[in-house]
Chains A and B, each alone.
Chain A
Amino acid sequence: MKRLRLLMTCATVAFMSVLAPQAYAATPTDTLVEAFAIDDIISLDPQEAFELSTAEVTGNTYSLLVRLNVDDPSKLELDLAESWTVSDDGLTYTFKLKPDLKFASGNPITADDFVFSIERLVKLDKSPAFLFNQFGLNGDNVTDMVKAIDPLTISFTVDKPYASSFVLNVMSSAPASVVDKALVTEHALAVTPSDTYKWDTDFGNEWLKTNSAGSGPFNVITWKANEAVVLERNDNYYGEAPALKRVIYRHMKESAGQRLALENGDVDIARNLSPSDLDAVASKSDLAITARPKGTVYYISLNQKNPNLAKPEVIQAMKYLVDYDAIGATLIKGIGTIHQSFLPIGQLGAIEDNPYMLDVAKAKELLASAGLADGFSVTMDVRNTQPVTGIAENFQQTAAEAGITIEIIPGDGKQTLTKYRARQHDIYIGQWGSDYWDPNSNAETFVSNPDNADDASSKTLAWRNAWDPGAMTEETKAALLEMDADKRAAMYVELQKKSQEISPFVMIYQQTENGAYSTKVKGFKLGPSFDTNLLAPISKD
């Protein structure tokens, strides 16, 4: 009888513990779970991917020769490289690698791996290829310009004497990540060369889309689209070993869902909280918030293939039809600040004046002078996440007051982005994160478009909107070769002012990235860019 009672008690206790939700909700101490909207990921190949969430994954799974100092992004620090020198004519850079470094696979990291990475970046010719195209590299000369002198020495030649900080800043961007040549070559697929693709291999692109071959503190275990990215500690990492064994990015779109999961302990960090949810989280004692202004700007762009949107007066009118004040005070409160130029505050030459405000009467006047007094109809592709949906709906209302009928086409990140990149949209609302911390990154994409043809290789944002910025393309190039920093800054100021006036980009705001986290998480800090949101320093109690 006694035994039976004991058994019953045990059973009851066991049953209760199963019922208690906390027992299941808490995440293990060696595993970090982040709620993050990752629906923009379309490939994890560092030489193909060019999206914000992907930059965070590659930033934590791959190493670079040099990387940004997270605390002071105007400085660089050495990563794989031990030292670097520039020749007197400013054309040849020589990098020495640190000896005895290993990839996650155990293969040694050599100069050859870097050469292979740049070769596949240029030859694959995906979106980020333009980063190195701008140094004069192309598929035919890449192996001459980037060479391994010996296993630990790299020689990198550029076609013009660019400011060295610019070259090194590009080297610190995610597409310059060093991939494991031996491992990737093993998974490369044979391709039949064609007119558009001259090489007989895919350089492991298909495999790297869902795997990693890096030497960063973490490895990619799986990526399931719109579901999760799972990273695991790289035990061969040459730096300080990360405290976390595993990091899971869970795709959660809704701010409310992220907040609930955070409050229940299902996730440790929520990355996409809306302004109202941030307010609510701020009042909880076991949760904290960290924020960092990002090099990301949000804009509405007008495809110049649409004859109405190509009219200069219409472009101007659109800039008067965004209710900047109301959006700043409500929809993006705490997650961004109104900013109407293409350079994020903090970069060389960024201007902070916001010349435009909501002025429906003025917009109507401009439309009338464009011969569109009765307005017109256009479509707008909107990724269905906040705050862009809210901004798009508000823009739809204010534009309607001026007679412009906007039909919103919602879609997930992949759908809208694919359409945008194919130049098939009318109006697009989206964001742009600087590829490297240098004003040239944004200038190059917003106000330069060397070839406006549909099959151009350099697919800048100006190109995506079929906009020919005219002389500004050349001016952007000139600013790049200007050695004098003050003069260079002045040139960027000029470009921004001109862009504010005539470009088809309605700049809206600069992002402030927020992360709400449980106080169990230590060392969580956001970087200036997405590839510097580092996981390695994070630990959990």
Chain B
Amino acid sequence: MTAPIETARPYSRAWLLSEEPASRHQAQLGRAYVIWRRFSGNRLAIAGLVIIVALILIAAMAPLIAPHSPVIGDLAGARLRPPLTEGYVLGTDGQGRDILSRLIVGSRITLAVVALVAIIAAPVGLIVGTVSGYAGGWVDAVLMRVTDIFLAFPKLVLALAFVAALGPGIENAIIAIALTSWPPYARIARAETMTFRRSDFIAAVKLMGASPVRIVLKHVMPLCLSSLIVRVTLDMAGIILTAAGLGFLGLGAQPPMPEWGAMIADGRRFILDQWWVAAMPGFAILIVSLGFNLLGDGLRDALDPKEGGQ
């Protein structure tokens, strides 16, 4: 007697977790499902995800949900109101502007900075790292020495120098932060590339006549992506802090943009008597940085092939 052959219903749990996937499609979905299961089993990671999704939603709907104008205040009538004053949940600042509205609209700036830096820095780092790792030789030496030069400066100091040269402003702050954050990605991508540049499947592709460009783009880069994503997510908190730092020093967003760092700088002069002006944007930065860190941690655990039974 033989056991009846089990055929799981497509897209069911058993089908996704099947040890012997019948198609490439099933294998891919199965892997994604495993990663998601591992990720969702981590409560902190879910908390991070919720924070980031909430941030994105708030930023998307900022003009709709902000109760007041973020830039026009009521200097004569509502200056430095404490939190929970009627109409001003988080209080008002030195210009009589609603802090909650400024935080909500400011989330757009924060998100834009993070997204743009990631879009600029991650691909640059990825390309430099994979090319360097795959090509080796003098290409590797030159690219890595350039990377070393960038790594030799503290990030904030280098960003400060760039902004000072380019002139203050949020666009220049983004460029400056992007210029200073690609080197670690290049290092990671290079290290990953080195581990499998001599492996059999690369040799096989090479034998089939694939050009180096094709190999790097189609076979090396996808394998570097997961560790890069983890690293970028973990870096986002740092990017937010750098942007806030530049804003605090008056080199990032210019008034009256409700950039969180600039808001803290503005609140400094009231810090002894009206603590909320500086504290509220501080909390916002804290929560969002925490969110990105938790999310990044969760992603690292979920994407790491060494963990879990694969």
Interface residues of A in 383-438 (CB under 8 A from B): 384, 386, 389-390, 392-394, 396-397, 400-401, 407-410
On whether the beta carbons of A410 and B168 are closer than 8 Å, the reply is yes
Give Cα A255 to B270, complex, Å. 9
Contact among B71, B250, B254 for A397, CB-based, below 8 A: B71
B308 interface residue (CB < 8 Å to A): no
On whether the beta carbons of B71 and A260 are closer than 8 Å, the reply is no
On whether the beta carbons of B75 and A326 are closer than 8 Å, the reply is yes
**Which of chain B's residues have a CB closer than 8 A to the CB of A393?**
95, 255-256
In the A-B complex, the 4 residue pairs with the closest CB atoms? A326-B76, A326-B75, A408-B255, A410-B250
Q: How far is the CB of A392 from the nearest CB of chain B, in Å? A: 8
**Which of chain A's residues have a CB closer than 8 A to the CB of B200?**
none
Stretch from B6-14, B18-26, B42-50, B271-279 forming part of the interface with A: B271-279
Given the contacts A327-B75, A390-B94, A280 and B272 also touching, CB distance less than 8 Å: yes
B79 interface residue (CB < 8 Å to A): yes
On whether the beta carbons of B73 and A325 are closer than 8 Å, the reply is no
Count, A-B residue pairs, CB within 8 A: 65
Can you offer 27 A-B residue contacts whose CB atoms are under 8 A?
Answer: A254-B268, A255-B269, A256-B269, A256-B270, A256-B271, A259-B272, A276-B80, A276-B273, A323-B76, A326-B76, A329-B76, A330-B79, A331-B94, A392-B255, A393-B255, A393-B256, A394-B73, A394-B75, A394-B95, A396-B255, A397-B71, A397-B72, A397-B95, A397-B256, A401-B72, A409-B254, A410-B250
A54 interface residue (CB < 8 Å to B): no
**Which of chain B's residues have a CB closer than 8 A to the CB of A458?**
none
**Which of chain B's residues have a CB closer than 8 A to the CB of A255?**
269
Give Cα A326 to B268, complex, Å. 22
Q: How far is the CB of A524 from the nearest CB of chain B, in Å? A: 23
Q: How far is the CB of B219 from the nearest CB of chain A, in Å? A: 49
Give Cα A409 to B167, complex, Å. 10
B: residues with CB less than 8 A from A are 71-73, 75-76, 79-80, 94-95, 168, 250, 254-256, 268-274
Given the contacts A408-B254, A410-B254, A397 and B73 also touching, CB distance less than 8 Å: yes
Given the contacts A397-B256, A410-B168, A274 and B269 also touching, CB distance less than 8 Å: yes
Query: Closest chain A residue to B77 by CB distance?
Result: A326
Give Cα A330 to B79, complex, Å. 8
Interface of A is mostly: helix
A475 interface residue (CB < 8 Å to B): no
On whether the beta carbons of B269 and A254 are closer than 8 Å, the reply is yes
Interface residues of A in 369-390 (CB under 8 A from B): 384, 386, 389-390
Q: How far is the CB of B78 from the nearest CB of chain A, in Å? A: 10
**Which of chain A's residues have a CB closer than 8 A to the CB of B273?**
276-277, 280
When each residue 232-276 of chain A gets 1 if its CB lies under 8 Å from chain B and 0 otherwise, what string results?
000000000000000000000011100110000000000000101
**Which of chain B's residues have a CB closer than 8 A to the CB of A392?**
255
**Which of chain A's residues have a CB closer than 8 A to the CB of B270?**
256, 276
On whether the beta carbons of B71 and A400 are closer than 8 Å, the reply is yes
Contact among A277, A323, A390 for B272, CB-based, below 8 A: A277
Q: How far is the CB of B94 from the nearest CB of chain A, in Å? A: 6
Give Cα A400 to B71, complex, Å. 10
Give the interface centre of B75, B256, B268, B274 by most chain A CB atoms within 10 Å: B75
**Which of chain B's residues have a CB closer than 8 A to the CB of A325?**
76
Give Cα A274 to B274, complex, Å. 13
Give Cα A165 to B217, complex, Å. 85
Give Cα A408 to B250, complex, Å. 11
Query: Closest chain B residue to A276 by CB distance?
Result: B273
Q: How far is the CB of B236 from the nearest CB of chain A, in Å? A: 27
**Which of chain A's residues have a CB closer than 8 A to the CB of B72?**
397, 400-401
Give Cα A396 to B270, complex, Å. 21
Q: How far is the CB of B261 from the nearest CB of chain A, in Å? A: 14
**Which of chain B's residues have a CB closer than 8 A to the CB of A408?**
254-256
Give the interface centre of A274, A326, A397, A408 by most chain B CB atoms within 10 Å: A397
Give Cα A276 to B80, complex, Å. 10
Give the interface centre of B94, B268, B269, B273 by most chain A CB atoms within 10 Å: B269
Given contacts A260-B272, A323-B75, 17 further A-B contacts (CB under 8 A): A254-B269, A256-B269, A256-B270, A276-B273, A280-B272, A330-B76, A330-B79, A393-B95, A394-B95, A396-B255, A397-B71, A400-B71, A401-B72, A408-B254, A408-B255, A408-B256, A410-B168
